Amino acid sequence: MTEQDTSSDIHIRTEGRAGRITLTRPKALNALTYDMALAIEDALDSWAGDDGVALVIIDAEGDKAFCAGGDVQKLYHTGRAGDFDYGRRFWRDEYRLNAKIAEYPKPYVAFMQGFTMGGGVGISCHGTHRVVCDSSRIAMPECGIGLVPDVGGSLLLARAPGRLGEYLALTTARMGPGDAIYAGFADIFIPQDDWPGLIARLCESGDTADIAEAGRTPPHSALSDLLHDIDAHFSGDTLADILEALRGSDTEFAAQALEALSRNSPLSMACAVEMLHRLRGPAANIRRALELEYRYTFRAMEHGDFLEGVRAAVIDKDRAPDWQHDLDTLPPHAATDMLMPLGEDALGLHKKDDDT
C-alpha separations of 56 from 15, 267, 351 in Å: 10, 38, 21
Alpha carbon 120 to its chain centroid, in Å, reads 6
Neighbours of 26 (CB within 10 A): 14
Q: Is 265 helix (H, G, I), strand (E, B) or coil?
A: coil
**Radius of gyration of the chain measured on its C-alpha atoms:** 20
Q: Rounded CA gap, 34 and 28, in Å?
A: 14
Count the helices and strands in the chain (H runs, E runs).
Answer: 16, 10
The C-alpha atoms of residue 219 and residue 216 are separated, in whole angstroms, by: 9
Task: Say whether 70 is catalytic.
Answer: yes
Q: Catalytic site residue 150?
A: yes
> Please, what is the Cα angle at 309 between 152 and 36, to 5 degrees?
45
Helix (H) or strand (E) holding 2: strand 2-6
Residue tagged active-site, from 59, 142, 166, 179: 142
Contact 97, 127 (CB under 8 A): no
Cβ atoms < 10 Å from Cβ of 235: 13
> Cα separation of 201 and 138, whole Å?
26
Element (H, E) at 18: strand 18-23
**Residue of 150, 179, 274, 291 marked active site:** 150
Q: Which amino acid is at 101?
A: I
Give the largest Cα separation in the chain, rounded: 61
**Which residue out of 119, 153, 178, 184 is catalytically annotated?**
119
Q: Report CA torsion sign: 29, 34, 35, 38.
A: positive
Q: Which member of 19, 70, 184, 304 is catalytic?
A: 70
Mind telling me the catalytic residues?
70, 119, 142, 150
